[in-house]
Amino acid sequence: MCEFTVYVKDADSEEQEKITRNIVGAIKKDTSVTLIDVMGASQVVENVYIESVSTMKQELTLRKMS
């Protein structure tokens, strides 16, 4: 199973912060993304969009909206 580490970037910067890991699902709804981990627990991240997904690096990058 592919588990992702999730990073968030500021709206106007390339600096990123790791916010969670072991994520197996992501659901985009309006301006939020719900992340689901291997245990089925969910975490909502508000005012972001999905910038990139890399299965090679097992990374999901979110960017804050300005």
Predicted confidence (pLDDT) per residue in 10-66, tens digit = 999 999 999 999 999 999 999 999 999 999 999 999 999 999 999 999 999 999 998
- For residue 59, give both structure tokens: 């990374």
- For residue 56, give both structure tokens: 């090679």
CB-based contacts of 30, cutoff 8 Å, min separation 6: none
What pLDDT does 1 receive?
Answer: 74
User: Is 22:35 a contact under the CB 8 Å cutoff?
Assistant: no
